[in-house]
Structure 1
Amino acid sequence: MRGLSRPGPWKRGPVLAALALLLGLVMLLHAEITDWGGLGSLLETFLPWFGLFIPVLLAAALWRRSAAAVVALLLPVVVWLSLFGGLLLDKSRSGGDLTVVSHNVGAENSDPAGTARDLAASGADLLALEEMPPRARATYEEELAEAYPYHVVKGTVGLWSRLPLSDTRMITVVRGNVGPLAESRSAGIPVDPPRALRTTVATDRGPLAVYVAHLGSVRVMPRGGFWTDSRDFGAVALAKAVAAERIGRVVVLGDMNGTADDRALDGLTSQLDSVQEEAGDGFGFTWPASFPVARIDQILVRGVEPASSWVLPATGSDHLPVAAGISW
């Protein structure tokens, strides 16, 4: 009967159309979403993965033959491409005056000697290590001594260099046990060790200020949501140090426990460029090493040109090393 005919394609799938619009708005307005309970930070950490909902909704829209849902999907498609489409292109260039590598070597790494040898084989001119437990420091120093005549260590972070270093100092990015989080003593690391340093590298083109940092961990708390207080405190402190830097050429290396899209790192990303975004190929995810879903290990620069950016093969750590070529 005519009165019982099925609705037309523009009236089918109103729920699918609404979900498509909601997806697009969440990605478009992610910076406006409340950070209560760390919700905004958590969303921004995995923002690229929201694109996976698009083919799912498209398949459902085609199955329902919903023209309205298909058209509504244009919003999330356009927003996702505007946010991340550039990362799908290979923007790397040949050359580079200096190669830098950063790696969270992992406190639980069972083969620090092998990790050190792998990193030295990368050919890096500057090699930053984070999360070094005291028991493994001597191993890294011994294995890297031949390739790197200069190095500095502050707490759990260090920089190995083929070029002379000077004016090294600790940057305070950790405060006393904040909230529910305290670093584990079981890994041999004190509760609040130094986790960031700043040093000057003497290059043939003048001084280069290098920062190595391991910002505080984030946790999903049963009652407190996505807990980021320690990380956020460190991000603000590191951003202030970089803002006060007098040398024009700056490289920041380390495990930031946050992606370049995370609002917690706005103080840094507003001053510095991400080498992966400027000269990488793909998303460059680094964590966890077994199945990377986020790039929380960063190389950020100012006053130099990123020439290339890539991720190195896995070591004994739960993070992947990151590398970049930079040009004057």
Structure 2
Amino acid sequence: MQGQALEDRAEPGQGDVGRWRSGVRRAVLLGARPEPWRRGLVLAALALLLGLLLLLHALIPNRIGNLGSLVETFLPWFGLGVPVLLAGALWRRSGSAVAALMLPAVVWTHLFGGHLIDKSHPGADFTVASHNVGAANPDPAGTARALAASGADVLALEELVPQTTGTYEKELVKTYPHHTVVGTVGLWSKLPLSDPQPIDIVNYGPLAKIAAAKQKLAPNRALRTTVATDHGPLTVYVAHLGSVRVNPRAGFWTGSRNIGVQAIGRAIAAEKNQRVVLLGDLNGTMDDRAFDDITSRLRPAQDAAGDGFGFTWPASFPVVRADEILLRGVEPKSSWVLPATRSDHRPVAAGFDW
């Protein structure tokens, strides 16, 4: 009996075996579960790639489908990847992904954080406005009245067509007694204008004929004129650059637009007057390297004195700032987007001091 008792004590009971197996299972599961720094490595890699794209966007080549310009056109929107990846990192409880997200967050803030701050200042000596009124605008008279109410001293209109140009002239004449129209662009002014000249932004350079034929562009899409002010002459350029297209074969096609950029850039480089304003639908954003010929000589008013990104196209839900006001020789005080009209673009305005 004593030997039997010793044998009973030596063998564990069924309950002890169950507890032992459960403990082993828990140990295995805990050992297999990654630590916070080992979870979400894919999310961490995506965060680093996003940061590198924002940091090194200027190195993305344009040789293949103008990929670099396409990325730079929508560059601010890549910032949306940060909260998306952050949500995934928090869901996975991944410390490595959260840490990696510091790179795109810091780079995006460096590039675009200034747009989140209101840099405008009250009061301005002179106000300018620009609007692509839209060839298919069903209410040109209403659009003209809305623009006249903006208070701008000078108003540039793009995409004028013969059917509506007369309406704009009739509706704007009381507020703007001076105006000039060249092709599809025009300038209305409260002050006298002089020496209006067309600028050919279509037939410029060796590839101009190919680009123009592809879009059948009218030759008169830009002008230069001088506004007589109490502080001396102000040179104003108005331009409607060629449209851009995105398609699987050509990628981001910007041929005619880039030809216009070069033509305007050359004209401004030769401009003797130090006070210059460029108004118009430029069909691109100033983050796009293609506009270096212009941004190296003129300052975007929105960057200097804007509040927000100032997106203008499409009017129903703007995602890019295709319409610009650029300055030289004056001090920008404010820049803003005017209320939408019946056009597919929103008008823009800016005020500056002499």
Q: TM-score, normalised by structure 2?
A: 0.89
Of the candidates 225, 228, 243, which is equivalent to residue 217 of structure 1? 243
Residue 215 of structure 2 corresponds to which residue in structure 1?
Answer: 182
Q: CA separation in 1, counterparts of 2:213 and 2:184?
A: 21
SS of 1:80's equivalent in the other structure is helix
1:114 aligns with 2:145: no
1:125 aligns with 2:158: no
Q: Which has the higher helix share?
A: 2
Matching residue's letter, 1:326: F
Of the candidates 30, 46, 68, which is equivalent to residue 57 of structure 2? 30
Give how far 1:5 is off. 2.0
Larger Rg: 2
Q: CA separation in 2, counterparts of 1:180 and 1:72?
A: 48
Q: CA separation in 1, counterparts of 2:144 and 2:231?
A: 28
SS of 1:319's equivalent in the other structure is coil
Give how far 1:222 is off. 3.4
Residue 9 of structure 1 corresponds to which residue in structure 2?
Answer: 36
Residue 97 of structure 1 corresponds to which residue in structure 2?
Answer: 125
Give how far 1:208 is off. 0.6
Give how far 1:177 is off. 4.9
Q: CA separation in 1, counterparts of 2:347 and 2:259?
A: 24
Q: CA separation in 1, counterparts of 2:74 and 2:202?
A: 25
Of the candidates 96, 105, 112, which is equivalent to residue 84 of structure 1? 112
Q: Deviations over 1:264-300 (max 9, x none)?
A: 1111111111111110100010000000001010000
Residue 314 of structure 1 corresponds to which residue in structure 2?
Answer: 340
Give how far 1:23 is off. 0.3
SS of 2:220's equivalent in the other structure is coil
**Structure 1 gap segments, 5+ residues each:** 184-190
* Contact 1:156–1:193 under 8 Å retained in 2: no
Structure 1 pair 70–99 and aligned structure 2 pair: CA distance change class (3 A): same
Q: TM-score, normalised by structure 1?
A: 0.95
SS of 1:285's equivalent in the other structure is coil
Identity of aligned residues (%): 67
Of the candidates 140, 145, 158, which is equivalent to residue 186 of structure 2? 158
Q: CA separation in 1, counterparts of 2:215 and 2:283?
A: 15
* Contact 1:103–1:128 under 8 Å retained in 2: yes
* Contact 1:198–1:209 under 8 Å retained in 2: yes
1:240 aligns with 2:227: no
**Structure 2 gap segments, 5+ residues each:** 1-26, 204-208
Q: Deviations over 1:165-208 (max 9, x none)?
A: 1121111111335177324xxxxxxx423000001111000111
Q: CA separation in 2, counterparts of 1:31 and 1:233?
A: 20
RMSD: 1.2
Q: Deviations over 1:115-170 (max 9, x none)?
A: 11110111110000001112111111111111111101110000000111112111
